Amino acid sequence: MESKSRRTVFFVSDGTGITAETLGHSLLAQFPDCEFRQVRAPFVDSLDKALDCARNIREASRRDGQRPLVFSTLVQADTIAALHETEAHFVDLFGTFIGPLELELGVKSTHTVGRFHGIAESEDYKQRIEAINFTLAHDDGISDKNLEDSNVILVGVSRSGKTPTSLYLAMQYGVKAANYPLIPEDFERNKLPGELQRYRSKLFGLTITPDRLSQIRQERRPNSKYASLENCAAELEAAKKMMQREGIPFLDSTARSIEEISAKILQEIRFGKPVY
């Protein structure tokens, strides 16, 4: 029964489908009470593939007894027409906006299929890959080498969210994000670890509630002192004091996704880029 009441949503693209999926997810999130069955249809870059896709859409329509939703970033007229011949509710991301943009910019769009193709040669892309490699080589304080090349250095107690945030910053924004744990020894010495003192302007702190930290650490090392609520609270308190004393901006990661944390960090730090 449950599957019958769900609509099927297709993300159709001549490329990877990431754009169609991203906007589709954002729009559907505005309808939290509806359940959707999601289908990716990337690389629909020929009429044959579009006709295949149209068949799948019609089949879903019959099966669900409801019109499917289609989020499309197709740019070729014949492939778009093939999908229009289904009865789906069609959200045509490119068709809707490209015409007005052409008028505004006073140039024709290239109607290029597969916008992500060729991206691998772009400077932006190379910067992202370089940032990922940098971030992996500077995860968890494993190396001080070339730390001066970092755009940001995340600090915080173990399991406060530094690693996934660093990787997201690198992958999404091409930001070279090192990260460094603050450990009990640092609090005893009452000093920032390693070379961090030299790069204080690049530091950004993550904190988290003791409850949540204890819960995360329990999964790693059940019933350890490391994971105990008391120890977590003490470490977090010491880290907070250190960050406040050193003038390091920090953010609570508890209820935030890595997307949110990263966007906040980007706002705080300018990275010497012209505009952001």
Q: Which of residues 33-52 bind its own copies (CB under 8 A)?
A: 33-34, 37-40, 42-43
The reply on whether position 100 binds its own copies by CB under 8 A is yes
The reply on whether position 259 binds its own copies by CB under 8 A is yes
Helix/strand/coil for 162: helix
Window of 79-87, 142-150, 230-238, 249-257 that interacts with its own copies by CB under 8 A: 249-257
The reply on whether position 97 binds its own copies by CB under 8 A is yes
258-268 helix and 162-173 helix, angle to the nearest 10 degrees: 70
Shortest Å distance, C-beta 187 to its own copies: 25
Report whether 147 contacts 178 (CB < 8 A): yes
Q: Which of 1, 2, 4, 104 binds its own copies (CB under 8 A)?
A: 104
The reply on whether position 120 binds its own copies by CB under 8 A is yes
The reply on whether position 222 binds its own copies by CB under 8 A is no
* Backbone φ, ψ for residue 20 (5° rounding): -60, -40
Shortest Å distance, C-beta 1 to its own copies: 16
Tell me the β-bridge partners of 179.
154
Order of strands, edge to edge, in the sheet holding 203-207? 177-181, 152-156, 203-207, 250-252
Window of 8-16, 144-152, 185-193, 241-249 that interacts with its own copies by CB under 8 A: 8-16
Give Cα separations from 180 to 50, 65, 135, 153, 186 (angstroms): 49, 54, 11, 7, 11
Window of 47-55, 129-137, 195-203, 229-237 that interacts with its own copies by CB under 8 A: 129-137
Order of strands, edge to edge, in the sheet holding 69-72? 36-41, 7-12, 69-72, 89-92
The reply on whether position 205 binds its own copies by CB under 8 A is no
Q: Which is nearer to its own copies, 36 or 187 (by Cβ)?
A: 36
Report whether 75 contacts 94 (CB < 8 A): yes
Buried-state track 13-30, b at ≥16 Cβ within 10 A, e below 16: bbbbbebbbeebeeebee
Task: Return d(Cα 74, Cα 96) in angstroms, integer.
Answer: 11
Q: Which of 1, 65, 110, 222 binds its own copies (CB under 8 A)?
A: 110
Shortest Å distance, C-beta 31 to its own copies: 6
Q: Which of 61, 80, 84, 116 binds its own copies (CB under 8 A)?
A: 116
Residue 250 sits at the vertex; the CA angle it makes with 244 and 254, to the nearest 5 degrees, is: 125
The reply on whether position 223 binds its own copies by CB under 8 A is no
Q: Which is nearer to its own copies, 152 or 242 (by Cβ)?
A: 152
Number of residues that bind its own copies (CB under 8 A): 77
> What mask of x and - would describe binding to its own copies in positions 145 to 164, judged by CB under 8 A?
------------------xx
Q: Which of 4, 62, 96, 189 binds its own copies (CB under 8 A)?
A: 96
- Torsion region of 191: left, alpha or beta (phi above 0 gives left; psi -120 to 50 gives alpha): beta
Q: Residue ranges for the binding site? A: 156-163
